[in-house]
Amino acid sequence: MEMSELLKELNMDEALRDPDTAHLVIERNRVVSSHWVQGLEVKTEEIENGVEVSVRVREGTVITKPVHFCFGVTHKRALQRIVMHVHVERGAKIAVLSHCMFPKAEDITHVMEADITLDEGASYVYREKHIHSPDGGIEVYPRATITLGKRARFATEFELIQGRVGKIDIDYAVTCGEESTMEMMTKISGRGDDDIKIRETGYLVGERARGVLTSRVAVREHATAEVYSKLVATAPYARGHVDCHEIVQDQGVATAVPVVEVKHPKAHVTHEAAIGSVDTKQLETLMARGLSEEEAVEFIIQGLLS
Amino acid sequence: MKILSLKQVNLSLNGRKILQNLSMDFWKGRVHAVVGPNGAGKSTLAATVMGLEGYRKVRGEILFEGESITNMGIEERAKRGITLAWQEPARFEGLTVETFIRASAREKSDAEIQRVLQVVGLNPDEYRNRAVDRTLSGGERKKIELASILAMRPKLVLLDEPDSGIDVASLENIFEAIRVLRKDGTTVVLITHSLAVLAQAEHAFLICDGTLIEEGPMEQIRPYFEDKCIPCNHKNIPEIEGEEHGDE
């Protein structure tokens, strides 16, 4: 399957033809297609096994339509490394819709190394959706270091519910400046022998900084998941919340380690974690409406990950 | 015509007898009420008829349309047309009202989703895309659960405390839903200790300590219940039941 066919399947081809929508399509270590709009500067350089991308959103620029990124490998075996530098300047706003596609993966490693800086009042919303092959055969290593300036807003949503996970090891760290806001949501569904590790850390260092770390994970069959979510608040009126919910079915194993550290008497951080099988009342409600147990479980998991 | 019959049904939970030799007949297309004080065994009765986990070790027999369902699980009972509305409905993170109703709907059209939401007094445009989670009040979830039951078009529905968490203004929506169910030919079993809800029924059972005390037309049962004049050695121990299913 070629990249163009994949894009068509995702209904992305239309967006890619739109002159007002910026996009970047990378297949393995090759930039297949790119298009930029005013105020958005992007440089790409092909490196060994990947591409280095530098994104700059100029001061005050508001990109009205979501920018489309697509990183993929259409081969069965490959290493893909994406090195991403993002700088959203003062008052600029950008939203990115990113697809990572590995439909034929048998032995693929995908590494993402990102450093992201948001200046005062900047906003960066990043939605990343992974589409893997039904057989696993892939290892994914997303790494990101994010720094938020005063009143900046960073929101990210990572979704991997289509195809097998294989192995994923996410490691994100965000430092939140004064009155900035950070929201990170991760949704992953594992089965077979999938191996899921999520490490997310937020440092609320600025006065009135706010952060929420949310994870929703389902593990079935023999899949395993470890979720480490940490929020450290060191400034007055910093507010944070860690929310982790994992559903375990069959022989799946899940671990959640929420850590909250408060180093200022006027800061406040909370956490909640729930791990277990599907809630009995939810299950019985759906079964009392005529769904089979399997259908009800699937329904509940899909809801959790939706 | 009988649709559901309990024949000398006994159920013990944690070594304590909750239902004792209960024999009851429910008639097709009628609205029945099961009334009694807190801890009488009303919600346990509903859970037992639905076959919920922990409520299946029954002595005696439960017949639905002449067939024994005593050893059947929830799914099989639901497929035969029995359903239950919980006193406190479940929350479903991530599921929209529309998806939730559609899952149980016999007819899955948009018009049907709209119809059932309107019956329970919810504006479809406002509610269909909302999540069935903690952002909804208990009363709203109750109405949505009732809407899903209307869409399912069951043969028999057990409504456990249908007015709990419902404000006075919305009570009429619940009663309208009961009328619609009846009009559709559904047998309705109201588990209640509310006189207003009891008044919707044609026939009622008065139970206490898991034992049937009296049954008859609603008007006949109402004075007993109203005056709390129950001639039995009732011991109200709400902590024994009600934790799971809300019978306080």
pLDDT in tens, A274-301: 999 899 999 999 999 999 999 999 999 9
pLDDT of A152-194, one tens digit each? 999 999 999 989 999 999 999 999 999 999 999 999 999 999 9
Q: Which residues in chain A are contacts of B50 at CB distance < 8 A? A: 284, 288
Segment holding A24, helix H or strand E = strand A23-27
Q: Do A290 and B152 touch (CB under 8 A)?
A: yes
What CA–CA distances, in Å, run from B40 to A4, A270, B62, B189, B205? 67, 40, 19, 16, 12
Residue A1 has pLDDT above 60, yes or no: no
Kindly report which listed range (A6-10, B67-71, B241-245) carries the lowest average pLDDT score. Answer: B241-245
Residue pairs spanning A and B at CB distance below 8 A: 64
Identify the CA nearest to A218 among candidates A157, A171, A172, A277. A277
One-letter amino acid at A227 equals V
- For A231-281, the pLDDT digits (tens) are 999 999 999 999 999 999 999 999 999 999 999 999 999 999 999 989 999
Contacts of A302 in chain B (CB under 8 A): 94
pLDDT band per the 50, 70, 90 thresholds, residue B39: confident
Per-residue pLDDT tens digits for B160-196: 999 988 888 889 999 999 999 999 999 999 999 889 9
Task: Work out the minimum CA distance from B132 to partner chain A, whole angstroms.
Answer: 10
Inter-chain CB proximity A299 and B103 less than 8 Å:
yes
Between the two ends of chain B, the Cα-to-Cα distance in Å is 33
The span from the CA of A290 to the CA of A278, in Å, is 17
Contacts of B104 in chain A (CB under 8 A): 286, 289-291
Q: What pLDDT is attached to residue B233?
A: 54
- In sequence order, what DSSP letters do the residues of B163-222 get, joined into one string? TTT--HHHHHHHHHHHHHHHHTT-EEEEEE--HHHHTT-SEEEEEETTEEEEEEEHHHHH
Chain A CB contacts of B148 under 8 Å are: 289
Task: Read off the pLDDT band of A136 (50, 70, 90).
Answer: confident
pLDDT at A11: 74
Residue B240 has pLDDT above 80, yes or no: no
Per-residue burial over B170-184, b if 16 or more Cβ lie within 10 Å, else e, is bbebbbebbebbbee
Q: Each residue of B122-164: pLDDT tens digit?
A: 999 999 999 999 899 989 999 999 999 999 999 999 999 999 8
Is the pTM of the predicted complex or chain greater than 0.80? Answer: yes
DSSP B67: E
**Higher local confidence (pLDDT), B224 or A293:** A293
Residues of B with CB under 8 A from a CB of A: 50, 52-53, 73-75, 77-79, 82-84, 86, 89-95, 99, 103-104, 145, 148-149, 152
- The C-alpha of A162 sits at a distance from chain B's nearest C-alpha, in angstroms, of 17
Taking alpha carbons only, the member of A221, A284, A267, A219 closest to residue A245 is: A219
Residue B90 burial (CB count, 10 A): 18
Structure confidence by residue, pLDDT tens digits, A201-221:
999 999 999 999 999 999 999
* Measured distance CA(B15)–CA(B243) in Å, rounded: 16
Instruction: Return d(Cα B212, Cα A17) in angstroms, integer.
Output: 73
CB contact (8 A) between residue A304 and residue B94 = yes
User: Could you give the 3-state DSSP secondary structure of residue B13?
Assistant: strand
Cβ contacts of residue A172 below 8 Å, gap of 6+?
A: A142, A143, A144, A145, A146, A156, A184, A199, A200, A201
Structure tokens at A71: 């990183």
Residue with tokens 């490693």: A109
Burial class (CB in 10 A: 0-12, 13-18, 19+), A2: exposed
Tell me which chain B residues have a C-beta less than 8 angstroms from the C-beta of A305.
Answer: 94
State in Å, rounded, how far the first CA of chain A is from the last one. 27
Q: How far is B114 from chain A (nearest CA, A)?
A: 19
| Range scoring the smallest mean pLDDT among A10-19, A26-35, B27-36 | A10-19
- Find, among B51, B1, B4, the residue nearest to B24 by Cα: B4
Residues from chain A contacting residue B52 (CB–CB below 8 Å) = 284
Mean pLDDT over the full length of chain B = 90
Out of A1-15, A111-125, A282-296, B182-196, least confident range:
A1-15
Residue of B nearest to A293 (CA): B75
DSSP string, B33-63: EEE-STTSSHHHHHHHHHT-TT---EEEEEE
Please tell me the distance in Å from B95's CA to the nearest CA on chain A.
5
The pLDDT mean for chain A works out to 94
Nearest CA in chain A to B132: A303
pLDDT for A285? 97
Mention every residue, 6+ apart, whose C-beta is less than 8 A from residue B148: A289, B100, B101, B103, B104, B105, B116
> Which of B87, B37, B33 has the alpha carbon at shortest distance from B235?
B37
